[in-house]
Amino acid sequence: MRKLVLAAISIAALISVGPASAADNPIVLKFSHVVASDTPKGKAADKFKELAEKYTDGKVKVEVYPNSTLYKDKEELEALQLGAVQMLAPSNSKFGPIGIKEFEVFDLPYILPDLNALRKVTDGPLGSKLLQRLDSKGMTGLAYWDNGFKQMSANKKLVAPSDYKGLKFRIQSSKVLEAQFRALGAIPQVMAFSDVYQALQTGVVDGQENTWSNIYTQKMHEVQKYATVTNHGYIGYVVVVNKKFWDGLPADIRDQLSKAMKEATEYGNSLSVKENEDALEQIKKAGKTEIITLTPEQNEAMRQAMMPVYKEVASRVGQPLIDEFLKETGRGPIN
């Protein structure tokens, strides 16, 4: 994989980070991500491009590469660290495999009751502390972007925990998500986001978990007979920039890009709820997927089935961090 990334660097024009003398010799910032442009993340990335170029008077040119057109899940963080791209917005899960396991706290099932609780974390001291952990990996954390809450889908009705037994579920690379599906008796399979549709279509995996906007824009609903409203987990992103690139920018350029990022973050996060609601309506309209809504009792049975995950991953994620997270979100002790 590293050879592939290095090869990409060798054929890419390397960026010189210094004061741009004119708009015809701009600083080029490559922003790569793995989802479609018409998702909350895709629209926020495009908004950042628009604002960054506006606020820097063209001294910075932002090139956005959506839908894994440059790098897939496993490649993108290494590409950033090596300087092949300057900016990414990976999901929280992606940081565990590179040694920042604390971000997997966001993957714990039912840890976030709503977006207000999420904001208490991301906009507060805990969110800042987590971002600082990225410095040691050669990247700077700039913002938290929302996608939304995850739902379950499969070609089998998923109502009770026992319904998951033996099914193969695609997951992001996350030990927490592995533990979550093992707790349900399912078989977790790590797979790049861009490969999920084909894997579902061909039966390589039986199901997956995702937000409505991701399910719809990736056409997963076309190859899944059932989707269950669970809201059991959250998908969010951390916008990161190559630290050497960022620190080498002129201070005024960095300030202008920070302003653009702040406004793009507010814009993208304000879209996420509506985008997911609209996507759900489109999925219903397509008529290929039956939407299942759990009763309060069925939902509680799912929650209880996943509670052992907290103890299983405590040594990996850190029990003090889990406790701090629960205190911020108001979830109380997990039993």
Q: What is the pLDDT along the chain (335 residues), one digit of tens a residue?
A: 555 555 554 444 344 444 444 457 999 999 999 988 988 899 999 999 999 999 999 999 999 999 999 998 889 999 999 999 999 999 999 999 899 999 999 999 999 999 999 999 999 999 999 999 999 999 999 999 999 999 999 999 999 999 999 999 999 999 999 999 999 999 999 999 999 999 999 999 999 999 999 999 999 999 999 999 999 999 999 999 999 999 999 999 999 999 999 999 999 999 999 999 999 999 999 999 999 999 999 999 999 999 999 999 999 999 999 999 999 988 765 54
Q: Which two tokens stand for residue 204?
A: 């390589």
Rounded Cα gap, residues 120 and 275, in angstroms = 22
Rounded Cα gap, residues 146 and 273, in angstroms = 9
| pTM as predicted | 0.86
- Greatest CA separation for the chain: 64
Bridge partners of 88, per DSSP, are 32, 240
- The CA-atom distances, in angstroms, between 142 and each of 19, 20, 101 are 21, 22, 18
